[in-house]
Amino acid sequence: MTISLDFSDIQNYMLQQLPERADELYTMEKEASKTGFPIIGPIAGNICYQMARMIGAKNIFELGSGYGYSTAWFARAIHENGGGTVHHVVWDEDLSGQARTHLSRLGYAKIVRYHVAEAVKTLDATPGQFDLIFNDIDKEDYPKSLPIIEQRLRPGGILIVDNMFRGGHVLEESDHSKATKGVRELTALVNASSKWISSIVPIRDGLLIAYRVP
């Protein structure tokens, strides 16, 4: 017998399989639901946490961090990996302040370094190489962020990029918006490059997970 499942059925099933998470994460999720603020959500958050744990990440850079929800998953991984730094980057002072509050309550104050600035320029100016880079900036800027990411992500590191489906707009041939074109271009660049081994994971709005070939 064939069972018909739609996308929401699968997402709900995956959500049910997640282990319990910290109360503060539930608080952040409720806040996002109430205000409509776009966070990656617990399924994608758990994938981010898993990737960071798998490679033993000690130094993570987020390009676009919101009020710290994704940062919390990465900070947990770094804490369990023995310590290190997550760079939280947003333009907005208020969002940065909210993130400080949430992440301090989670016990990650010493793990997170905060920047209020343009994300790609901050990545370029921050010394060292990174084990994992998470990209969630304006989608039209995705393609031009890739050369900097390739310079700053260590060989064997992981790139995670959010919103690769653009709410389904990538499937609409008539959609020529800058944001959709940016997502399509980044996807094509990564797929065509020998520097990357990548897949798009169909959870929430699509996560690109790419391994930087040594």
Task: Tell me which residue range forms the domain holding 73.
Answer: 40-212
Quote the pLDDT of residue 1. Answer: 58
Q: What is the pLDDT of residues 50-73, one digit of tens each?
A: 999 999 999 999 999 999 999 999
Whether the per-residue pLDDT at 3 is higher than 90: the answer is: no
State pTM to two decimals. 0.94
Q: What is the pLDDT of residues 87-118, one digit of tens each?
A: 999 999 999 999 999 999 999 999 999 999 99
Whether 15 is covered by a domain: the verdict is no
Number of domains in the chain: 1
Mean pLDDT of 172-177: 92
Whether 35 is covered by a domain: the verdict is no
Q: What is the pLDDT of residues 148-158, one digit of tens each?
A: 999 999 999 99
Whether the per-residue pLDDT at 2 is higher than 70: the answer is: no
Cα atoms found within 13 Å of the Cα of residue 26, Cβ hemisphere only = 7
* Domain harbouring 199, CATH code: 3.40.50.150
